[in-house]
């Protein structure tokens, strides 16, 4: 990969998902970026027509970059359940779509559990992964992507009210609390005062790859985290 120079300044988070915007903002702000969001700029939320997380992330980043004239960082992420052959995968948000157009992740988590139970196996395979791909689009420059994956187990009933989406139903490997029971620092894998703590969440892992490639010359200010 060619050297990537990303200086502090305006950067668009190419998402209309409040939970994703909040987490990406938390990851970026310590580096001194002026965060804009697609919603704030009145940018469209493109239809996700890709067949992979990478294709959808690139689509969203390039749409926001073209519409704003600014560098844009997009996320496409989701839950891949082993017993369901990797579903809901890129359709994780669609599994939460309610009749009124809103998103109901309590319903989505229940649907995942029911489909797992419906497999009829003597012992349900509860293995799962959270996958995240970040795409960085800049005017006149080739778009680049960064991936992160975290393995874990699906739990029922869901536990915790923090995080968003499927977090309450996902227990990361090696932990006793679901993502829904963790605050932002624990979920991302941060230890206050320890910048060397390994990332935990799929989004933090993707961000760590992004940071190594694009932010290595910048100083992270933990006080802004």
Q: Dihedral sign, CA of 58, 61, 67, 68?
A: negative
Reply yes or no on whether 76 is catalytic.
yes
DSSP letters of 77-134? Answer: EEEEEGGGTT-BGGGTTGGGB-TTS-B-HHHHHHHHHHHHHTT--SS---EEEEEEEE
Q: Give one DSSP letter per residue of 33-44, joined into a string.
A: -EEEETTTTT--
Task: Single out the catalytic residue among 76, 104, 173, 194.
Answer: 76
The single-letter DSSP state of residue 5 is -
Report the distance separating Cα 148 and Cα 146, nearest Å: 7
Catalytic residues: 76
């Amino acid at each position: 990969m060619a050297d990537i120079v990303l200086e502090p300044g305006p950067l668009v988070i190419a998402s209309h998902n409040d939970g994703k915007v909040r987490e990406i903002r938390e990851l970026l702000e310590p580096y001194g970026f002026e965060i804009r969001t697609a919603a704030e700029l009145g940018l469209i939320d493109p239809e996700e027509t890709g067949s992979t997380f990478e294709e959808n992330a690139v689509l969203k980043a390039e749409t926001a970059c073209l519409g704003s004239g600014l560098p844009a960082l997009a996320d496409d992420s989701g839950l891949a359940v082993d017993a369901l052959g990797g579903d809901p995968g890129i359709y994780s948000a669609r599994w939460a779509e309610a009749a009124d157009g809103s998103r109901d992740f309590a319903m989505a988590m229940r649907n995942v559990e029911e489909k797992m139970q419906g497999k009829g196996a003597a012992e349900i395979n509860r293995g799962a992964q959270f996958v995240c791909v970040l795409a960085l689009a800049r005017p006149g420059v080739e778009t680049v992507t960064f991936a992160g994956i975290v393995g874990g187990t699906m739990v029922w009933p869901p536990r915790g009210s923090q995080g968003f989406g499927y977090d309450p139903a996902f227990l990361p490997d090696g932990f006793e609390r679901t993502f829904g029971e963790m605050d932002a620092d624990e979920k991302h894998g941060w230890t206050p005062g320890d910048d060397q703590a390994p990332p935990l969440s799929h989004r933090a892992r993707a961000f760590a790859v992004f940071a190594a490639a694009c932010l290595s010359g910048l100083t992270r200010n933990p006080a802004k985290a």
